Amino acid sequence: MECFLEYAATDKGLHFTDALAQNAIEVEAIDIPLAQFSGSHPVIKGISLMAKQALDFDVFIFNKAGCSDAALRPGAYLDYVRFNATGAAQIGAAGFYYYAGVTGLYLPYRDKSNTYKLHVGLVNRSATSKLAGADGEVVIMVALA
């Protein structure tokens, strides 16, 4: 039996703070919990997302820094997950939108930049732009085993 050992999460005040037009990407590097995975390579088991705006998002996972359409590196792309606004829910009709998490993944992860970071890209797929700063906050959580 396998269990989740840790979650790696973005910081809403530091990560994904740019405005994003439709199909634009912002890539961030988030810390992998060293206490749990020192000397080993985690497996991505699930991804969840919360956002201030109800937009369609793709979350891309790369295993190298500096990945985007402009600097695509062979072997750097691992996978992506789509989060649709129609499936997002608010609690009490206010605050963040909570998107149904994607579980059952099995993505062995090794940071080829040797920074022990998880390289995550957020793409806005909606015609409405993702806002910058606090008005467009997004938090991505990655379950690691």
Identify whether 73 is part of a domain: yes
Q: Percentage of residues in the chain with pLDDT exceeding 90?
A: 67
Identify whether 99 is part of a domain: yes
| Beta-ladder partners of 118 | 30
**CB contact at 8 A, 144 and 6:** yes
Q: Which domain holds residue 95?
A: 6-144
* Strands ordered across the beta sheet of 94-108: 6-9, 138-144, 43-51, 94-108, 89-91
CATH code where residue 63 lies: 2.60.120
User: Which of 99, 97, 98 is CA-nearest to residue 81?
Assistant: 99
Over residues 97-109, the pLDDT tens digits come to 999 999 999 999 9
Identify whether 1 is part of a domain: no
Over residues 33-70, the pLDDT tens digits come to 865 666 678 999 999 999 999 999 999 999 888 766 55
1: pLDDT strictly greater than 50:
no
Identify whether 108 is part of a domain: yes
Count structural domains, the chain.
1
Q: Percentage of residues in the chain with pLDDT exceeding 70?
A: 87
- How far, CA to CA in Å, does 7 sit from each of 26, 31, 47, 113, 117? 21, 10, 9, 20, 13
